[in-house]
Amino acid sequence: MCAQLINANKPVFDFVGCGALNWDIFFEVEDLSQLKFENLVILPGRETVLKRDQFLKFLKFLEKKGEFLFECGGGSSANTIYALSSWGFNCCFIGSVGEDSFGKGVLEEFEKVGVDTSFIVKNGETSLAVVILDKKKDRFIAVSPGSSESALSDLEIGLNHLKAFFHFSSFASKSGQEFQKKVLLELNSKISLDPGEVYANLGKDFLLPWLKKTKILFITEYELKKTGLSLEELLDLGISKIFLKRGKEGGIFYSKKMRIELPVLKIEKIVDNTGAGDYFNAGVIAGLRLGFSEEKALKLGIYSASFSLRDFGRKGCLTKEEFQKYVNLLK
């Protein structure tokens, strides 16, 4: 299976995303700390990767022990691109889905908001994720990479003819990771990166090829600690902008010359924080694309993340009208 960009077409996009494409299934339980399944370590706020057979057993367990809430497309970069496209930016995505109902759902959601899906391989099984919430709104995520990611090696793209800003997030499978590393080598330009827990847990040596090609880094305090690198060391690698995501504490922008800290916005009703960091990323890079200062871009990121808490998954994403209204206030 092969998709190849014809040079004569030279499509122009505002943003190109690359990373895992998941189908997210949401459940609620009484208390995450009391949830026990085999040898799985279930901690609030954390994320783990499971093989498909264990994942399916866990899913059946949750169907009995928890309450099904909602399902939709997911994946960090995928959520960011979904938001950007729904706000009116011209976007495409590089990744893979299965030839199953989950993959069909992922593509339909993208196409509904105008994401170009020409560079999404369709093969095998779609990556799945269960998102478990409890009454305190703590969250745990378990991801199972799909076999579709093994077909990414067949995808050929003339990347440097895609005149766009590239935003990367993690793949949980080795085949996805190797594909993304190959994409990095082909790119002449630098990227924005959200490594997430998956890449951060693999450590500094694994991450270096990504970090050396990164211009804008989005990272949490937990992920920063797992990389084994300080903010100063990251900036010395050539990263020019670091946005530290601090959840309930807001966000901080770092560069070699500047530090800007802003608090989180107060939201009356919090339903789900899944994807909030991805919508933060979308707000920031949208702001930078619109020519805003780092402070205003940070404000837009926090605004987008905060309002995403109002509903499950992508249902909480700012509408185009809400986005434009806040952009007008920032101008």
Within a domain: 301: no
Give, in order, the Cα–Cα distances in Å from 55 to each of 31, 44, 130, 142, 195.
20, 18, 9, 8, 22
Q: What is the CATH number of the domain that holds 136?
A: 3.40.1190.20
- Nearest-5° angle of CA 21, CA 22, CA 26? 155
Q: What is the pLDDT of residue 270?
A: 84
Taking the C-alpha atoms of residue 221 and residue 318, their distance in angstroms, rounded to an integer, is 25
The type of residue at 174 is K
Full residue range of the structural domain in which residue 108 is found: 11-168
- Residue 313's nearest CA partner among 22, 19, 24 is 24
For residue 31, being part of any structural domain is answered with: yes
Query: Structurally, how many domains does the chain consist of?
Result: 1
Query: Is the residue at 204 inside a domain?
Result: no
Q: Do the domain assignments include residue 121?
A: yes
Nearest to 257 by CA among 241, 246, 269, 271: 241
Q: Determine, yes or no, domain membership for 244.
A: no
The pLDDT value recorded for residue 204 is 94
Output the pLDDT for position 10. Answer: 54
Whole-number Å distance between alpha carbons of 112 and 43: 34
76 domain residue, yes or no: yes
Please tell me the pTM assigned to this model.
0.92
Per-residue pLDDT in tens (0 to 9) along the chain, 331 residues: 334 333 345 568 999 999 999 999 999 999 898 899 998 989 888 889 999 999 999 999 999 999 999 999 999 999 999 999 999 999 999 999 999 999 999 999 999 999 999 999 999 999 999 999 988 778 899 999 989 999 998 887 777 777 789 999 999 999 999 999 999 988 988 999 999 999 999 999 999 999 999 999 999 999 999 999 999 999 999 999 999 999 889 999 999 999 999 999 988 888 888 889 999 999 999 999 999 999 999 999 999 999 999 988 899 999 999 999 999 999 8
The answer to whether position 303 is within a domain reads: no
25-69 tens-digit pLDDT: 999 999 898 899 998 989 888 889 999 999 999 999 999 999 999
- Residue 260 maps to a domain: no
